Amino acid sequence: MSVTVPEPRGEALRRPPKNRTHYLYVAVIVAVGLGILVGLLFPDFAVQLKPLGTAFVALIKMMIQPVIFCTIVIGVGSVRSAARVGKVGGLALAYFMVMSTVALAIGLVVGNILHPGSGLQLTDEVASAGAAQAEGAGTTTDFLLGIVPTSLFSALTSGEVLETLLVALLIGFAVQAMGSTGEPILRGVGHVQRLVFRVLAMIMWAAPVGAFGAMAAVVGETGVDALKSLAVLMLGFYVTCALFVFVVLGALLKLVTGVNVFSLFKYLGREFLLILSTSSSESALPRLIAKMEHAGVDKPTVGVVVPTGYSFNLDGTAIYLTMASLFIASALGDPLSIGEQISLLLFMMVASKGAAGVTGAGMATLAGGLSSHRPELLDGVGLIVGIDRFMSEARALTNFAGNSVATVLIAHWTGGLDRTRLDRVLDGQEPFDETTMLDEHQDHDTPVETSPHTTQPV
């Protein structure tokens, strides 16, 4: 005969609240499906829903700079040696350059094999749409000067990620140099970070509404017929991105760390869904930071690699610029030579830095590059305006996948990865706490006996 022993009141109080956020992401999936249906059946009405998606992405972007600032200051300021941060940053930039070159090469090969764009006709309306895109692109000099903010505090309100990155690094190194006297500052920034993540968790409950409005609007604007003539470019781009992510990045991750890329992407599944519905990789940046820390990557590595990768590790954008340029040149009957392809796309890779996550920024970069190198091809940008939203999703997903893999790899190379914890997290033994998105009591630099993210002992 068994006797039920009542649970002590203290244990009940310490039990984590029931996680209801999985309902949120089921709602996002349903909202995306409804958005596509409404876009097909009621296109005129669907287009008017676009502000819903725009508002949600704006709410997420509102939180990006505070998240990056707090993460970098804590990550850099808590390290005893500046050489540690320099090693992580230097290795990250070298890795980003190599992988961007690989992505560029893959895009060139596939683009030259498929020859997308042949047989399309350029109308006056399409040409004017292409020329309009060049207005949003700046020069390389503008990009470099734009890294320096107007003032120390404007870096947190300007909307420019690279400005925040620079100021946060400077403050992080300054706090580091202060030694023990800088610890109160780090604790204060830590409290601000928790507040920011709490606000972000509240905003995420608007995701289904944003996803519905965004998908309904894009389907209502483009329709099905507008996509048929450009299916070769879209499918070729999707396949190229998939090859890069699962073959190149997957093989590299497996060979270096032994981690299965599918396990990592399963852990980040909700972030991929969020990007797919909003077409912006920035919408998942705060969650990537929190999840990488939870998975065993130390704070300095996360603080340096993730924000830097969002500005410099644009694998999907590199593939897009490659294939889109070849598509336009082929469609206008003026193909690019190999030398022209390389010089044009290297310019675009530099000009595109800092544009990750901004829907449509890739097209503006494409237009700006064509305008400066081959202005006679600028009108052809209008040929892909109708499908840029769908290609933007693939760009964002590829960029996000590349940054998640880069974080694990660089943490492994620099000794900033708790491999035992990573394995447990990817196996589902230590689920991520969706209610806070913060490892509030976890310090991955030192072993702990319990985890706030699971009811089981570690």
Q: Which domain holds residue 376?
A: 85-150+227-426
Tokens (6 digits) for 221: 């604007």
**How many residues appear in the chain?**
458
Residue 179 lies in a domain: no
Is residue 448 classed as helix, strand or coil in its secondary structure? Answer: coil
Task: Report the alpha-carbon distance of residue 40 to residue 153 in Å, rounded.
Answer: 46
Q: Give the CA count within 13 Å in the CB-facing half-sphere of 304.
A: 31
210, 277 contact by CB (below 8 A): yes
Predicted local confidence at residue 139, as pLDDT: 54
The yes-or-no verdict on residue 328 having pLDDT over 90 is: no
pLDDT digit string, tens, across residues 72-104: 788 777 766 666 777 888 898 889 888 888 888
Residue 256 lies in a domain: yes
Predicted local confidence at residue 441, as pLDDT: 41
The yes-or-no verdict on residue 453 having pLDDT over 50 is: no
Residue 90 lies in a domain: yes
Mean pLDDT of 163-187: 85
388: pLDDT confidence band, cut at 50, 70 and 90?
low
Amino acid at 67: V
Task: Report the alpha-carbon distance of residue 434 to residue 454 in Å, rounded.
Answer: 12
Three-state secondary structure readout of 217-237: HHHHHHCCHHHHCCHHHHHHH
pLDDT digit string, tens, across residues 276-295: 877 777 778 888 988 999 99
Question: Which of 276 and 260 is assigned the larger pLDDT?
Answer: 260
Tokens (6 digits) for 37: 């249906």
Residue 379 lies in a domain: yes
Residue 15 lies in a domain: no
Predicted local confidence at residue 402, as pLDDT: 92
Residue 436 lies in a domain: no
Is residue 455 classed as helix, strand or coil in its secondary structure? Answer: coil
CATH code of residue 376? 1.10.3860.10
| Lowest-pLDDT choice from 224-233, 286-295, 439-448 | 439-448
Amino acid at 381: V
91, 309 contact by CB (below 8 A): no
Task: Report the alpha-carbon distance of residue 325 to residue 67 in Å, rounded.
Answer: 35
Residues of the chain by 3-state class (helix, strand, coil), percent to 5 = 75, 0, 25
Predicted local confidence at residue 351, as pLDDT: 54
| Most confidently predicted of 176-185, 315-324, 418-427 | 418-427
Mean pLDDT of 144-157: 77
Query: Which of 427, 355, 341, 435 is closest to 396 using CA atoms?
Result: 355
The yes-or-no verdict on residue 66 having pLDDT over 70 is: yes
Question: For the chain, what is the domain count?
Answer: 1
Q: Does the global pTM surpass 0.75?
A: no
DSSP 405-421: HHHHHHHHHHT-B-HHH
The structure tokens 């940008």 sit at 381
Helices (H) and strands (E) counted in the chain, each on its own, are 22, 0
**Helical ranges in 15-121 per DSSP H:** 21-41, 43-47, 50-77, 82-114
The structure tokens 């933007």 sit at 392
Report which DSSP code applies to 402: H
| Lowest-pLDDT choice from 45-49, 273-277, 388-392, 447-451 | 447-451
315: pLDDT confidence band, cut at 50, 70 and 90?
confident
| Lowest-pLDDT choice from 101-115, 205-219, 352-366, 433-447 | 433-447
DSSP 292-329: HHHTTB-HHHHHHHHHHHHHH--HHHHHHHHHHHHHHH
Residue 291 lies in a domain: yes
Task: Report the alpha-carbon distance of residue 452 to residue 404 in Å, rounded.
Answer: 23
DSSP 59-84: HHHHHHHHHHHHHHHHHHHT-S-HHH
Mean pLDDT of 191-216: 82
Mean pLDDT of 406-422: 92
Dihedral over Cα of 204, 357, 277, 216: its sign: positive
336: pLDDT confidence band, cut at 50, 70 and 90?
confident
Dihedral over Cα of 253, 256, 260, 265: its sign: negative
Predicted local confidence at residue 395, as pLDDT: 84
Residue 340 lies in a domain: yes
